[in-house]
């Protein structure tokens, strides 16, 4: 608008061109939106609210919120009452060998706990403003229920992905190596790219650290906790991991990418350049191409072995 990004503006002589242009732009925007029929905007708002409500209301009614903007005593009482029931439902659905009597006891216990919490919130809170004291239990409960909803949504998405794989006859390994891996990492990709481009030297260092720290956390903590819970659910029996023909390929290419960075970075005096990036992309595309072709080879080999045994 006539002013350099790194320059300074004289306070005594404001930029009149910038002011007039901005006012004209705001006027045009207001005129454009005011031309819409008010009834159309109302119906559009109702339609969007109807689409959003099946996903919004269950979360709103089970996640305690104490922020000033979204505070509602009715929602607070309902959320602390229904949150234990949702946890009990999730617990019963995760247990395959739970009988009806045990499930009923769990539901009754959760309902009793929810009623007690609801009465406490009803007596201890006020309508106009959220509570000012003892906020740690509120934040802890909100965090717990947010993690619970994240788990529920992630489980449904994975089940939907596996269902599409069964319908299209695509191997679960291929889905995990492509769609699930991309969806799991696209957020980190955007965040690391923005941090590297706009954060300066420190931002680039944070982005590179995040690129390796994120997968390291997923591998150690994610797999570690998953194996602990899976083994716990099968105890005293042992948990059997399904055999995956792409396991060794995945580990081999993972080690190849780490070795490529380990060799190239010291030679470049720890400076990142296009040579390192193109090498990592080439390794990943080779991995995808071999995995896709290896899937067909694995199917042929398994069919040949089956016929030989028959």
Residue corresponding to tokens 């083994």: 231
**Among 75, 84, 134, which residue's Cα sits nearest to residue 107?**
84
Work out the angle at residue 11's Cα, subtended by the Cα atoms of residues 10 and 17, and round it to the nearest 5 degrees.
70
Both structure tokens of 230:
């899976």
d(CA 280, CA 52): 41
- Angle (deg, nearest 10), helices 136-168 and 73-94: 50
Going residue by residue through the chain (310 aa), what tens digit of pLDDT does each one get? Answer: 444 433 444 444 444 444 445 555 556 655 555 555 567 777 887 888 888 888 888 888 888 888 878 888 888 889 999 999 999 888 888 776 667 788 888 889 999 999 999 898 888 888 788 888 788 888 898 899 998 888 888 888 878 888 888 888 777 767 777 777 787 778 788 888 888 887 777 777 888 888 888 888 888 888 888 888 878 877 777 777 777 666 777 778 888 888 888 888 888 887 777 888 888 888 888 887 776 555 544 443 444 455 445 5
Dihedral Cα 70, 73, 74, 79, nearest 10 deg = 70
SS3 77: helix
Q: Which residues fall within 8 angstroms of residue 17, CB to CB, at 6 or more apart?
A: 1, 2
For 51, which DSSP code? H
Segments making up each domain of the chain, as ranges: 43-169
Angle at CA of residue 51, ends 46 and 57, nearest 5°? 95
Alpha-carbon distance of 50 to 90, in angstroms, equals 26
């Amino acid at each position: 608008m006539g002013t350099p990004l790194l320059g300074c503006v004289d306070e005594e002589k404001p930029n009149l061109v910038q002011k007039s242009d901005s006012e004209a732009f705001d006027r045009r925007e207001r005129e454009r939106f005011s031309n819409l029929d008010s009834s159309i905007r109302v119906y559009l708002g109702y339609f969007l609210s109807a689409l959003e409500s099946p996903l919004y209301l269950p979360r709103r009614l089970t996640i305690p919120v104490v922020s000033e903007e979204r505070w509602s005593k009715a929602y607070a009482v309902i959320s602390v009452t229904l949150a234990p029931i949702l946890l009990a439902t999730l617990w019963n659905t995760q247990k395959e060998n739970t009988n009806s009597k045990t499930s009923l006891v769990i539901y009754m216990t959760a309902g009793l706990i929810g009623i007690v919490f609801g009465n406490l919130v009803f007596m201890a809170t006020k309508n106009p403003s959220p509570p000012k004291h003892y906020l740690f239990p509120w934040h802890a409960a909100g965090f717990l229920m947010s993690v619970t909803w994240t788990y529920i949504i992630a489980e449904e998405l994975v089940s939907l992905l596996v269902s599409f794989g069964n319908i299209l006859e695509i191997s679960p390994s291929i889905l995990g190596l492509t769609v699930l891996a991309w969806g799991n990492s696209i957020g980190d990709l955007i965040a690391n790219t923005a941090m590297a481009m706009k954060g300066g030297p420190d931002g680039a260092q944070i982005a590179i650290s995040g690129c390796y720290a994120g997968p390291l956390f997923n591998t150690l903590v994610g797999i570690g906790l998953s194996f602990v819970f899976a083994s716990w659910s099968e105890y005293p029996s042992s948990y059997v991991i399904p055999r995956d023909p792409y396991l060794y390929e995945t580990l081999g290419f993972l080690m190849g990418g780490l070795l490529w960075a380990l060799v190239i970075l010291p030679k470049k005096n720890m400076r990142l350049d296009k040579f390192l990036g193109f090498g990592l992309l080439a390794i990943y595309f080779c991995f995808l191409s071999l995995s896709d072709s290896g899937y067909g080879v694995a199917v042929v080999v398994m069919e040949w072995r089956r016929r030989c045994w028959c």
